[in-house]
Amino acid sequence: MAKVYAVVQHREGKIHRMAWETVTAAQQLAALSGGQAAAVVLGSGVAGLAAELAAWDLESVRVIDHPRLADYTPGGYVAALAALVALEHPEILLFPHTYQTVEYMPRLALAASAAIVPEAFSFEPDGAGGLLWKRPILEGKLYARVRAKGAGPILVSLQSGAFSADARRPGQAPVATVEVDLASAATWREILGVKEMGGERVDLSKAEIIVAIGRGVGGADKMGPVEELARVLKAELGASRPVIDSGWLPRDRQIGSSGQTVAPKLYLAFGISGAIQHLVGMKGATCIVAVNKDAGAPIFKVANYGIVGDLHEVIPALLAALKAE
Amino acid sequence: MRIAVCIKQVPDTDARLRVAKDGCWIDEDDLPFAINEGDEVALEEALQIAEKHGAEVVVVSLGPERVREALRKALALGAARAVHLRHEAFAGGDAIATGRALAAVVRREQCELVLTGSQSDDNGYGATGTIVAGLLDWPHAWLVMGVELEEGLKTLKVTREMESGLSEVVRLSLPAVLEVQAGLNHPRYASLKGIMSAKKKEIAELSPGDLGLTESEVGRSGSRLEVLSVAFPESSAGAQILSGEGAAGELVSKLKNEARVI
């Protein structure tokens, strides 16, 4: 009879897309274990969000509404959730694997004597009354089957897209307010402001064809043939994060979880291994072509066509073939 | 000020991976290793802070004998000293067990700032630095994109990445833990002089006992997460692989006639 809590992330009055995936996962996990799924929303003035969550098949919506939770801070969130765990003893807390949850989950684990399973993408019974989780390792090239041991709750963050938001079951859930004392919650930071990173000048979401490059391109001085290919195909140039971080292309060309999400009819990925952070930004493309030296690169799993080889040889060959047509 | 930089040695990004015989990790024989990218950026940031404000940079790493190479490189880049947690009891830890060992080093070394990468390229927990902060009860920030030590050297102005292209600027008071993101800076290369002087620098090996910890508090036995097996993803549908000399021509024709996208 596992008690499963889905912790719902939100910002500016909107529930995070991945939070709905967490609700689906909580429902499935509760069904598997004959337990109950609840949603937890914390913030200040979040009655509207709680009402939205109440329209789904949940045992309840737990609300922690406190002025100190108006903005996300690790101090406030850890104190509030640790208090909730101490009061209600959920066995499993599910989170979306986001920049926000990854930042505070480990501290919550310490405060609540919990185990952490980061970035799980599936679960199954372990045959001994517990659960096995699968999570990516080595940048998604492999996955690990892991299990929490020892007493205490388990905190699990769920990989983006691993559970379908659309699969959540509607229903009716009572809203329950949980009072917590945050007077002595740690103040680990003072928020000075929020700003746009670099500003998105190029809107890649409207591109029909994207030629994307990864770390494998090898340097800013090796871009000539790539740029020519983009010209010939009338394509936009895109890149995975390492290319941007190395300064080979400007930040507005970044595709993936910390960049733009695209869905062109043709996506050509050169020297991109296919880490999940990149895949979430481009897997909606109609046709994906992958060129990579490593036959085991995860990008080949989502691609329609693949060439195992050095992009510096394949691109000139492609240019020649296009010109010959 | 003393700065601890926690680095991890991970398989090289381009390395060919094989599952080890016991099925619980990859086969490390003949596997090339490198310093985890985020940790190298953390080291660079620490060295820049040290050059600007004056500080001693101590680099810390947990792992077997091979890790000495990573520490030696960090010393060549400019770290003053190194601490190697080589003892077998440290091996196989999750973020909590590894964080416990690293926090004990930070305490022992009386550091005021800890820098490390946001996550490792192998296990990718993204949690170890935060555990260090939690155990020390220090402020921390994850996915740090900018670091500015404020006047008086008591506070830090930190830019951290948020979702959807936003970043947040926060002030943390020292001591603190910063988990940095690749792209924060461009790590330097080691100079010949650096490589020569690194040979004379100290690499201290510490055991759990030296850190006031028992063997059951660290490594596999101190962990809450147990790795049962690792595997390559099942090859489901996947790509139609084109090969041979005509691959490029074949691809162009398929894109035109089969997928009809060009």
CATH number, position B159: 3.40.50.620
The residue in chain B having the minimum alpha-carbon distance to the alpha carbon of residue A157 is B125
Nearest residue, CB atoms, B251 vs list A119, A246, A289: A289
Contact (CB, 8 A) for A139 and A241: no
Domain extent for B130: 2-235
Q: Would an 8 Å CB–CB cutoff place B157 in contact with chain A?
A: yes
Q: Note the pLDDT of residue B145.
A: 94
The DSSP output letter for A208 is S
Task: Tell me the per-residue pLDDT of B194-252, one tens digit each, with 9 for 90 and over.
Answer: 999 999 999 999 999 999 999 999 999 999 999 999 998 875 567 899 988 889 999 99
Q: Is A130 on the interface with B (CB under 8 A)?
A: no
Has residue B257 been placed in a domain?
no
Q: How many CB atoms lie within 10 A of CB A80?
A: 24
> Chain B within 8 Å of A301 (Cβ-Cβ)?
yes
Are both A3-177 and A204-324 of the same fold?
A: yes
Nearest Cβ partner of A195 from B37, B169, B227? B169
Position A284 scores a pLDDT of 85
Residue B165 confidence class, pLDDT cut points 50, 70, 90: confident
CA nearest to A298, candidates A100, A121, A99, A102 = A121
- In CATH, which of 3.40.50.2020, 3.40.50.720, 3.40.50.970, 3.40.50.620 is domain A3-177? 3.40.50.620
Q: How many contacts, defined by CB atoms under 8 Å, are there between A and B?
A: 254
CA distance B146 to chain A (A): 12
- The predicted pLDDT at position B53 comes to 95
User: Is residue A215 less than 8 Å (CB to CB) from chain B?
Assistant: yes
Q: Is A304 on the interface with B (CB under 8 A)?
A: yes
Residue B153 confidence (pLDDT) above 70: yes
Is B169 at the interface with chain A, CB within 8 A?
A: yes
Q: Do A143 and B17 touch (CB under 8 A)?
A: no
Does residue B246 lie within any of the structural domains?
no
Whether residue B257 lies within 8 A of chain A, CB to CB, comes out as: no
Which one of B120, B255, B256, B258 would you mutate to disrupt binding with A, by most A Cβ within 10 Å of its Cβ? B255
Which residues have a Cβ under 8 Å from the Cβ of B48 and sit 6 or more positions away?
B185
Q: Which residue of B has its CA nearest to A139?
A: B121
Contact B162 A194 (CB under 8 A): yes
User: Do the Cβ atoms of B161 and A197 come within 8 Å?
Assistant: yes
CA-to-CA distance for A8 and A165, rounded, in angstroms? Answer: 13
Count up the domains in chain B and report the number.
1
Residue in A74, A118, A190 closest to B126 by CB? A118
Share of chain B above pLDDT 90, in %: 89
- Across the interface, of A143, A266, A322, the residue whose CB is closest to B233 is A143
Which H or E run includes B60? strand B56-62
User: Which residues of B are less than 8 Å from A152 in CB distance?
Assistant: 224
Mark which residues 110-129 of B lie under 8 Å from A by CB: 121-128
Q: Is B210 exposed, middle or buried (0-12, 13-18, 19+ CB in 10 A)?
A: middle
- Which residues have a Cβ under 8 Å from the Cβ of B82 and sit 6 or more positions away? B58, B59, B60, B61, B71, B72, B74, B75, B201, B202, B203, B204
Burial class, B195, CB count within 10 angstroms (exposed 0-12 / middle 13-18 / buried 19+): middle
Smallest CA–CA separation between A83 and chain B, in Å?
16
Give the CATH class of A204-324: alpha beta
Determine, yes or no, domain membership for B243.
no
Token reading at A39: 């949603």
pLDDT band at B13 (very low <50, low <70, confident <90, very high): confident
Of B230, B252, B261, the CB nearest to A318: B252
How many Å from the N-terminal Cα to the C-terminal Cα in chain B?
A: 60
Chain B interface includes A320 (CB < 8 A) = yes
Q: What is the pLDDT along chain A (325 residues), one digit of tens a residue?
A: 589 999 999 999 999 989 999 999 999 999 998 899 999 999 999 999 999 999 999 999 999 999 999 999 999 999 999 999 999 999 999 999 999 999 999 999 999 999 999 999 999 999 888 999 999 999 888 999 999 999 999 999 999 889 999 999 999 999 999 999 999 999 899 999 998 876 556 888 889 999 999 999 999 999 999 999 999 999 999 999 999 988 899 888 999 988 888 889 999 999 999 988 899 899 889 999 999 999 888 999 899 999 999 999 999 999 999 998 7
Q: For position B237, what pLDDT does the model report?
A: 65
A110·B131 Cβ contact <8 A:
yes
Shortest CB distance from A196 goes to which of B165, B248, B261? B165
Kindly report, residue by residue over B177-209, the tens digit of the pLDDT: 999 998 899 999 999 999 999 999 999 999 999
Give Cα separations from B208 to A37, B71, B98, B101 (angstroms): 41, 19, 11, 7
Could you tell me if A252 lies within 8 Å of chain B, comparing CB atoms?
no
B240 in a structural domain = no
- Residue B251 belongs to a domain: no
The number of beta carbons lying within 10 Å of the beta carbon of residue A317 is: 18
Would the CB atoms of A306 and B255 count as touching at under 8 Å? Answer: no
Q: Which pLDDT tens digit goes with each residue over B17-58?
A: 999 999 999 999 999 999 999 999 999 999 999 999 999 999
- A 26-85: CB under 8 A from B: 74
* CB atoms A192 and B13 under 8 Å: no
The rounded percent of chain B whose pLDDT value lies above 70 is: 99
Quote the minimal CA–CA distance from B113 to chain A in Å.
14
The domain limits of chain A are 3-177, 204-324
